[in-house]
Amino acid sequence: MADKLQFSLVSPSREVFSGEVDHVVAPGTDGEFGVLANHAPFMTTLKTGVVRVLDGDVARMRLFVRGGFADVTPAGLTILAEEAVNLDGVDGAEVGSQLAAAREKLLSEGADSPHRTALQEEIDYLEALRSAISA
């Protein structure tokens, strides 16, 4: 039997997942990377995207993360994400509504709004989340 990878994904609000898996694929800022049991240690930053948790060749879980860090040690992989949600529990219609509301707010506040950067970041996040749901 193949070795299992101990994987933990934690967000500021809670532990999203912890358990043994075969393989994890994550969105590193320098490109997507995969981690198996007994992987060489390294640490990297993450970009917004999907973390895929695999057992064999089957995706057991898809977790959408907004930034963070991945730390591979002899004990396993730990991801500390700024935000993380299980894509199985995301309502695409709700994301679409939130996206429309954020776009409307950005338009109504205008180019000189002090909230422009934060609103654009929220729009970018929601667009990425909507894209991940449909992928």
- Structural domain count, the chain: 2
Q: Which 3 state secondary structure label does DSSP give 99? A: helix
Q: Are 106 and 46 found together in one domain?
A: no
Q: Are 80 and 95 found together in one domain?
A: no
CATH number of the domain bearing residue 48: 2.60.15.10
Q: Are 46 and 75 found together in one domain?
A: yes
Q: Which 3 state secondary structure label does DSSP give 85? A: strand
User: 77 is in which domain, residue-wise?
Assistant: 5-88
From the first residue on, what is the mean pLDDT of each consecutive set of 10 residues in the chain (135 residues)? 87 94 96 95 96 90 95 96 92 93 90 86 92 86
Per-residue tokens: 74: 């002899």
Q: Are 75 and 121 found together in one domain?
A: no
- Rounded Cα–Cα distance for residues 133 and 135 (Å): 6
Q: Are 78 and 109 found together in one domain?
A: no
Determine the pLDDT at residue 2.
65
Q: Are 75 and 112 found together in one domain?
A: no
Q: Are 76 and 97 found together in one domain?
A: no
Determine the pLDDT at residue 5.
95
Q: Are 83 and 62 found together in one domain?
A: yes
Q: Are 107 and 78 found together in one domain?
A: no
Q: Are 52 and 79 found together in one domain?
A: yes
Q: What is the DSSP letter of 78?
A: E
Q: Are 128 and 74 found together in one domain?
A: no
Q: Are 75 and 105 found together in one domain?
A: no
Q: State which amino acid sits at residue 46.
A: L
Determine the pLDDT at residue 47.
95
